Structure formats: structure tokens, C-alpha cells
Structure 1
């Protein structure tokens, strides 16, 4: 049976300093390592790519023209594959250190949604989903981790 839907996710953050600043060097120096790990994980489908320059990840994709805002946009076969990568790999150690490299954002900065298999979302599409989540909360259109956890609990 062919899988018809995949899970897209967008995570945005605002760096505490420019990408060439020593305060974010450990983050920048490990982007290729963590992104490469994600790409090798079971269930990984697609990642928005930046310039292709080593050590830059997607940091050249500027949000609202702000060079400190960075975005990560990926697609996974399913929720479990994404959750495994985020919480059960080296990625978690870097995620636990995000306060060193990123400002605390008052608004939601992470969103997931289902896309047809084979569809690679654009950054504009992803930001629209994030805006929907901010305005309406969790729904089938746009949701966060807690929405999926609630679904897990009802299975």
C-alpha cells in the first residue's frame, strides 16, 4: 500500500548573534552534522536546502528580511520518525542547548501539518501554517507536539 500523506514540520528561531559570531559558533559548526544525521534517519523524506555552503544549513533563508531569523523545514514519512529524530538522537543534545544560541520567542515557533506524499512545501506555505496555529491553536490544519500526543493517547 502506498502512503498518501507525509508529515511536514517548520521550526523557526532567532539567533542571539550573526552566524559568524563566536556566540553561535558551536551551533553553526554542527549544522551539517545534525542535518546529515536527519537525512540518514528512517522516514526522512525531504529538507529545505539553503545555499549549499558547508556549515550554513538553511541560515540564508531569511524570514521578514531579518538575518538572525532561521528556519528548518522538513518532511517525514510519519510522526514517529520525526519524533525519534528529534528526541532520541544527537539532535536532542543540541535542542537542549537552544537557549545558548536562540532568543526565547514569545510566539509559537514550531508547526506540523500533513502534506500529500511527494509534495515539498514552500517556506511561505509553512509560515502560513505557523500563522494559522498561532491564531487558531491546534487543529488538523496545523498543530504542535501536544496535538499529536493527545492523538497517541486516544489510540
Structure 2
């Protein structure tokens, strides 16, 4: 039987271009937070940008809009992803998301199970997000509430339309 890992896509839209002082603190800490994630137990894979220091995935524009920043990663389990998101310094940056990201008027976060070893493409992830928007939670695409083993999101998560 194939083992599965948890893929997640989180899309944010910056309030300003990456070289603007309004997002400077976010950009200055991007490598540190991504590096922490990569060292966490359960981390499997993350979509990389150009590899230039301090850029993260900011060069993976969505729909030609350079302000849209996707974060696409794969984790061994929901619990391990939750530990990174809400059990590390990442939580402090998550709490400040409204400083750097617009409040999006639609869903911008999705998870789904992928076969072990699979590295999803951004196109695949955006298709899953669209499926979730249209159909709601299902085994094909879902949010935190769909995962019975996930618990930390209840106390730490944001409303479905808030900036992530």
C-alpha cells in the first residue's frame, strides 16, 4: 500500500512589492522561517523560487501578479505541519500577517494527500484550491476542519477569508 504525505498550498497577496519598506520585515525573515520549516521533523519538500537569498517563493507569481506569493510544501503528517505553523517562531510571523498581506475575499489555503515521493506543481495545487472553493471539504481538497487529527488550528487559525 502506498503511504501518503500531506501537501499544503497557502496563497497570500503582499500589500506592496517585495522591495517596499512595508514588507521589509517579512522579506528579511523569509529565509530564516523557511529554513526552520525545512529542519522540522516531518518536513518533506517545499517549492523553491529562484534560490536568491531573501526571495523565498516570491518569484512564483500567480496569474502574472508578482504580489501573489504561494507557499507549497509537503509534510509527513498534519500534526507535524501544525507543530511548525503554531509551535515555533513561525506563529509570531503568522500573527503579523495582516501587516504584510492583503485580506483576501476568498479561500486561499488548501491541503490534500499525495503519494509519498510526489512533489506537487503549483498548477496542481491551484487546481486543488479551486476544487475546494467550488465543492468545499472533500478527500480531494480540504482545510484544517477536515482533518480529525489536527487540533491546533482551532485555537490558532484564522477565519477562512483572512490573510494567511
Using the size of structure 1 for normalisation, the TM-score is: 0.94
Partner of 2:77: 78
Partner of 2:157: none
Task: State how 1:48-67 maps to structure 2 within 5 Å.
Answer: 48-67=47-66
C-alpha distance in 1 between matches for 2:17 and 2:24: 10
Unaligned stretches of 5+ in structure 2?
A: 151-164
Whether contact under 8 Å (2:112, 2:142) holds in the other structure is: yes
C-alpha distance in 2 between matches for 1:142 and 1:31: 27
Cα distance, 1:152 vs. partner?
3.4
Using the size of structure 2 for normalisation, the TM-score is: 0.89
C-alpha distance in 1 between matches for 2:146 and 2:7: 14
Partner of 1:88: 87
Partner of 1:23: 22
1:91-147 alpha-carbon deviations (Å, 9 max, x no partner): 010011000000000110000000000000000000000000000111110001111
Partner of 2:32: 33
Partner of 2:3: 4
Whether contact under 8 Å (2:40, 2:84) holds in the other structure is: yes
> Are 1:152 and 2:152 an aligned pair?
no
Question: Structure 1 residues 24, 49: closer, same or farther in 2, change over 3 A?
Answer: same
Q: Secondary structure at the match of 1:30?
A: helix
Q: Secondary structure at the match of 2:103?
A: coil
Partner of 2:155: none
Q: When the two structures are aligned, how many residues end up with a matched partner?
A: 150
Question: Structure 1 residues 3, 83: closer, same or farther in 2, change over 3 A?
Answer: farther
Cα distance, 1:66 vs. partner?
0.2
